[in-house]
Amino acid sequence: MKGIDDRRVGEQAIHTATEDLMGDDADLITQPKFRIWLRPDGIVQLVWNPRTTVLLEDATAALQAMAQLTRGRRSPLLVDMHDTGPLDRPTRAELTRRSDLQAAVALIVGTPLTRMMANFFLSVNRPAFPTRMFDDEASAVAWLLEFVGSQ
């Protein structure tokens, strides 16, 4: 898949594992700043490209893609923000307003900067759905599986 190899070696293991979960027939939506797909386990996975500054239109596009993948049903969302750039206030507000789509959100952080951004995001925006930060994908997925099929 194009774009996978642009991640640093230490991050490739995560993407290798998640790609295996996509399967051959998985729906994948690719935008200039992200990739998003519905995994076989019912979790939607969003991966922002490295060092991406996420703008309001990017957040809107990601949520529209999620709605397309899930046909508008509430689903858990796994967000890989290992190496994501800053998010401004309107972008953060957009990402937290769609409780009709997001049953729960797990944020995978990989650097002190993304951890700080995620902490700020969670303290300022107070999403209406359960949201937690994780250092690794396995823990995030285990937590999100509790929300698969919840309405």
Note the pTM of the prediction, 2 decimals: 0.78
Domain carrying residue 37:
4-147
Look up the CATH number of the domain holding residue 49.
3.30.750.24
- Per-residue pLDDT of 90-118, as tens digits, reads 888 888 887 889 999 998 987 777 777 77
Res 45: pLDDT: 97
| Amino acid, res. 128 | A
Average pLDDT, the chain: 79
Residue appearing with tokens 């750039």: 85
Average pLDDT over residues 29-58: 94
Tell me how far apart the alpha carbons of residues 110 and 67 are, in angstroms, rounded to a whole number.
27
Q: What is the mean pLDDT of residues 14-37?
A: 66
Give phi and psi for 35, each to the nearest 5.
-125, 145
Query: Is pLDDT above 50 for 83?
Result: yes
Looking at the structure of the chain, the number of domains it has is 1
- Hunting for tokens 């929300």 — which residue is that? 147
